[in-house]
Chains A and B, each alone.
Chain A
Amino acid sequence: MSAPQIAEQPLEGHFETVVAAEQRIEPRDWMPDAYRATLVRQIAQHAHSEIIGMQPEGNWLTRAPSLRRKAILLAKAQDEAGHGLYLYAAAETLGVDRAELTEKLISGRQKYSSIFNYPTLTFADVGVIGWLVDGAAICNQVPLCRCSYGPYARAMVRICKEESFHQRQGYELLMTLMRGTEAQRRMVQDAVDRWWWPSLMMFGPPDDDSPNTARSMAWRIKRHTNDELRQRFVDMTVPQAQHLGVTLPDPALNWNEERGSWDFGEPDWSELKQVIKGQGPCNTQRIERRRAAHEDGEWVREAAAAYAAKRRADGSSTDGHKGQGDAQGAGR
């Protein structure tokens, strides 16, 4: 945006043409400041959500009741850290850096998905998070694979594939528990009762209370309104709940023949607003954990930076830390 004023109008015309033609805006292309700011906010929030989202399920990693479930859960936590990495990298293409975004997260200046401010109280929560929370995330994220900003869209393709895998694993865990003991079935129903409404709230406020939707849709960042996505999620989920043998805690849930969709009740928006304002059951603990990890790790990051600087001074660049060394490890 250091582009001279004089050039701005044709550039803006180009931007609008590209977006309207469903083509991709790339990092070097001119883009309106507000488009850049909206993307930074959304991608950062998404990256933060991946990282904070490791905590509720991570709560059960040490206690997972079989080694297979432990391995599956650990692999999922690892995927989430990986998603956080690609998303921070996508945000960095817009001229911000990860350290700055992390600072904003732990100082409360940037948000993450409020769903992670609810507690995970039993092992069944792990399955229900996979099924409902990852399911809702997929509904939100699949349209982002067609987002107008190239790096974000490409990151989302990979993330959606892995999320759908997590969702199926969550559902498979719940199927196993529902075929198990009475106590396991009760555990599943209890978890569904607690997570259903927060999952519906993941799509954001109702359309008539969502001021940014229209602009994001015009920019092809967002493709559908919150209510459209929420309906899609309900329609996908109700038959899965029936197959599983659990009851969704909404007496208003009813098949509407005429619409070919499920009618459902109104979430308690006042509760969501409390959680967004910081009064959720886990807001403080989630941020504190992230802050502690970041601050406890400061001496380690300083050491890595000092080591890398010494190697650069030596002229021998053997440090692979930020480069392929770790990427290879992560991707094996």
Chain B
Amino acid sequence: MTHATTDPTSDDDHVYLTLSEASPGPEGEARWAYGTGFADPLLGVDTALPDGVDGADLGAYCLMLGDDALILAQRLIEWCTRAPELEEEVALANLGLDLLGQARQLLTRAGQVDGSGRSEDEFAYWREEHDFRNVRLVETPNGDFAHCIARLLLFSTARHALYELLGGHPDQVLAAVAARGVKELAYHREYATAWTLRLGDGTEHSARRMQAALEALWPLLDELFTAHPVELRLGVDPAQLREPFLRALGEVIAEAGLTVPEAAPLAYVGGRAGRDGVHTEALGPLLAELQVVARAHPGANW
């Protein structure tokens, strides 16, 4: 191909220059602060294990909360390019990024305190299904948009309350993650509440679907408020959050013109469920997909 000698595109040079010199800027910082590796949100936080806190217990607890966030983020990611409207595309990705950021901090903390020195990626990509400690609520398949909203409503309302409690935890890292997460979860709860109202008080069809989603997920709720021995040893009993949670959720459900489900909790398996590594059939395929590339290249850096 032949072309003119002088570059006719040189008028744009100043723009290219601006682009190549552009730092992420204040706006960019905010976007990237969600744990994409450009800024460490926990910089300066005391990482020493506080007196009286058992490292193995704290590690196990960080895995529970970190796995909840990671697996729910993965489910939200599955919505990408499938949302009902572009605004929801943006919002669901945003929620997924928040949860992914929380997961990364919590898994990293688990590796610091459990004595193994494992990284966030070693936890996410190299553990087997029975080593994941998330509740079953976050792993069940996505279902429709009403399911997505119902799960977000249940999870974010409960997790927001828990993070409020954990803001005062003696472990400075867990407290910092919770303090940061409480603001994020407040938005998730607000988003899920707004959509619960729209779907519940929208059309008859949407109300039926929203009610059906709440009914389907309700049996999975109990696990969030059932204390695991690790939690009790760390002085965080989620059972105390159950009543305030049910009150708050009851108000939203009533305002949406829906009914609080009466479905009984999903049974455990020999007394064990997600927090003990006993999951639903949905987690295996989710992890197979999440881990496949990493496991095809052992030892590789990405």
Contacts and interface: CB of A to CB of B under 8 A. Distances in A.
B90 A66 contact: no
A58 interface: yes
Contacts of B302: 64-66, 68-69, 123, 173, 176-177, 180
A261 B20 CA distance: 21
Contact of A297 (B37, B84, B94): B84
Contacts of B222: none
B24 interface: yes
A55 B93 contact: no
B3 A224 contact: no
A177 B24 CA distance: 24
Interface in A263-302: 263-264, 266, 289-290, 292-293, 296-302
A289 B12 contact: no
Contacts of A299: 203, 205-206, 209
Contact of B300 (A81, A181, A321): A181
B19 A142 contact: yes
A82 interface: yes
Q: Which 6 A-B pairs have the closest CB atoms?
A: A297-B84, A303-B202, A303-B206, A78-B93, A300-B84, A65-B294
A69 B11 CA distance: 35
A79 B104 CA distance: 21
Interface of B: 1, 3-5, 7-9, 11-12, 15-16, 19-20, 22, 24-25, 27-28, 30-32, 34-37, 70, 74, 77-78, 80-91, 93-94, 96-97, 100-101, 103-104, 107, 120-121, 124-125, 144-145, 187, 190-191, 194, 197-199, 201-203, 205-206, 209, 289-290, 292-294, 297, 299-302
B7 A232 contact: yes
A75 B197 contact: no
Contact of B202 (A85, A143, A160, A304): A304
Contact of B80 (A61, A67, A259, A307): A61
B202 A296 contact: no
Contacts of A321: 87, 194, 198
A71 B36 contact: yes
A204 B77 CA distance: 33
Contacts of B297: 65, 181, 183-184
A194 B93 CA distance: 29
10 contacts: A67-B124, A68-B35, A78-B97, A164-B20, A164-B22, A289-B81, A297-B85, A303-B206, A304-B202, A321-B87
Contacts of A65: 125, 293-294, 297, 300, 302
A266 B2 CA distance: 11
Pick from B81, B84, B104, B125 the residue with the most CB of A within 10 Å: B81
Interface string A212-228: 00000000000111011
A160 B15 contact: yes
Scoring A70, A79, A227, A320 by chain B CB atoms within 10 A of each residue's CB, the highest score goes to A70
Interface string A174-188: 001101110110000
Contact of A310 (B89, B93, B201): B201
Contact of A332 (B1, B25, B94, B198): B94
Nearest to A308: B198
Contacts of A312: none
Contacts of B28: 165
A160 B203 contact: no
B80 A74 contact: yes
Contacts of A297: 83-85, 88, 145
A105 to B, nearest CB: 12
A206 to B, nearest CB: 8
B18 to A, nearest CB: 8
A258 B12 CA distance: 23
Interface string A71-113: 1101101110110110010000000001000000000000000
Contacts, number: 234
Nearest to A55: B81
Contact of B30 (A58, A78, A258, A332): A332
Nearest to A145: B15
A69 to B, nearest CB: 5
Q: Which of A145, A173, A297, A298 has the largest number of chain B CB atoms within 10 A?
A: A297
Counting chain B CB atoms within 10 Å of each CB, which of A55, A229, A232 scores highest?
A232
B84 A296 contact: yes
A34 B213 CA distance: 49
Contacts of A79: 31
Given A65-B125, A72-B36, A297-B84, A326 B1 contact: no
Contacts of B121: 66-67
Contact of A77 (B25, B93, B197): B93
B16 A142 contact: yes
A56 to B, nearest CB: 10
A75 B203 contact: no
Contacts of A77: 80-81, 93
Q: Which residue of A82, A299, A325 has the most chain B CB atoms within 10 A of its CB atom?
A: A299
A301 B85 contact: yes
Contacts of B293: 60, 63-65, 123
B172 to A, nearest CB: 22
Contacts of B81: 54-55, 58, 77, 289-290, 293
